[in-house]
Chains A and B, each alone.
Chain A
Amino acid sequence: MNKSFKDGLQYAWDSTSIALAETCLRKYQYRMIEGWTPHRKSVHLTFGGHYATALEHFYKHRAAGASIEEALRLVVREALVNSWKDEFDHNAKTRPNLIRSIIWYVNEFGDESASGIQTHHLSDGKPAVELSFTIAVEDGLFFCGHLDRVVRYADDLYVMDQKTTGSTISPRFFDGFKPDVQMSMYTFAGQAILHTPVKGVIIDGAQIAVGFTRFERGFTFRTATELQEWYEATMHTIDAARAATARNEFPMNRTACGNYGGCEFRHVCSRSPEVRPQFLKADFTQAERWDPLERR
C-alpha cells in the first residue's frame, strides 16, 4: 500500500516524483502508478546512496560530539557493512572507491573550523541533520523529503547536499543545478521547516575516477521570487499529473526520451502499444511503488 496515494491519486510529492511528472507523464505512469523498476538497481544510485548516507552520518556523529577520527571510523564501518552485498558493476564506482571517497572527503572537508561552515541548530537545540519533512501546501497536498544537513555560512543558512559524478567538475557542473527540482525543493523545505530564509544549497561534488576522487564545492542560490515561481510551476505539474491519473491518460513527452543518456522506458515506448506490456514484463520488475512518504 503506497501511503502517498489516496483514492488512486498521489497527494504526497517529493522531488523524485515531481521530476518524473515534469519529465514525462508516461514515465510517471510507469514508475509511480504502475511501479516498474529496472531489474538491477543503477550502480550510480547504489554508490551515490551509500556515499551520501556516510557523509550525512559523519556530520550527525560530529554534531553529537564525536571526534573526526571516531566519526570517520563509524561511517567507514557502516558503509562497509551496508555495501557488502551490493553489486558494483562499474570500473570507477566500486566498493573500495566508495570507501576511498568517504575517507578522502573527510580529509578534504571534515574539519570545518577553517571553512566557516557550522551545522545549524534547531530551536530545541538539536543539530539540523537528518531532517525528514512532510509539509502541507494546499488542496490537501504535501511536499515531503529529507535534508541531510542545514548549515550556517557567512550569516546565511544553506542546505548541504552531496553529488557524485564520473566527469571532471567545472563551474558548469554547478550551473546544472538551476533550474532544478531537487535544489528548489530543498531550499523551499528548509525555509518551511526552519521558519527563516534559506539562501540555497551548498553542493559538495565528488568526481569518482578509477584512481582518485576529486572534490569541488559550489553553490546554487534561490531568491524568494524564484521559489515562488518554482512553487507555482510545481503545483501546475502536480495538477496535470493528478488529472492524467484520474483520466488514466498519460501522454508521452517525446522530447524527453533522449535526456541523460536516454529514458529507461524508451525501448518500451518505441514499440507498438499492443506489445509494450510484454517488454515491460521482460525488462522491468513491478516492485513496490516509490513512496515519497517512506523514510529512507
Chain B
Amino acid sequence: MSDIAELFARDPLDLSEQDLNQIIARFREARASFGNAPITSKTPPKPKQADVASLASKLEIKL
C-alpha cells in the first residue's frame, strides 16, 4: 500500500482507480478518528467584561 504522501507526489494522471480508492479510504479513516476525538475549543475562552473590570479594580489598573 502506498503512503498517502507518495500518492500526492505522483502525477495525478498516473493514479489508478485503486490509488484513488486508497486516498478516499485514508481520508475517511482520518474523519472517523477526528469524529471520535473530544471537542475542545481552539482558543481559550475570553474572560467576561465584568471579570476583567473586577480584576482591574483589585489591581488598581485603569483600563
Q: Which residues of A contact B (CB under 8 A)?
A: 72-73, 76-77, 80-81, 84, 95-96, 99-100, 103-104, 107, 168, 209, 211-212
With A84-B11, A96-B4 in contact, do A77 and B20 touch (Cβ < 8 Å)? yes
CB <8 Å contact, A104 and B21: no
Of A73, A84, A211, A212, which contacts B24 at CB under 8 A? Answer: A73
Chain B residues, Cβ within 8 Å of A84: 11-12
Chain B interface size range: 10 to 19
Q: List 18 A-B contacts (CB under 8 A).
A: A73-B20, A73-B24, A76-B20, A76-B23, A76-B24, A80-B12, A84-B11, A84-B12, A99-B8, A100-B27, A100-B30, A103-B24, A103-B28, A104-B27, A107-B28, A209-B42, A211-B34, A212-B34
Closest residue of chain B to A214, judged by CB?
B34
Dominant secondary structure of chain B at its interface with chain A? helix
What A residues does B27 contact at CB under 8 A? 99-100, 103-104
Interface, chain B (partner A; CB < 8 A): 4, 8, 11-13, 15, 17, 20-21, 23-24, 27-28, 30-31, 34, 42
- Smallest CB-CB separation from B5: which chain A residue? A96
Partner of B13 from the list A81, A95, A100 (CB cut-off 8 Å) is A81
**Complex contacts, B28 vs chain A, CB 8 Å:** 103, 107
Seed contacts A84-B11, A103-B31, A104-B31; 4 additional CB < 8 Å A-B pairs: A76-B20, A103-B28, A107-B28, A211-B34
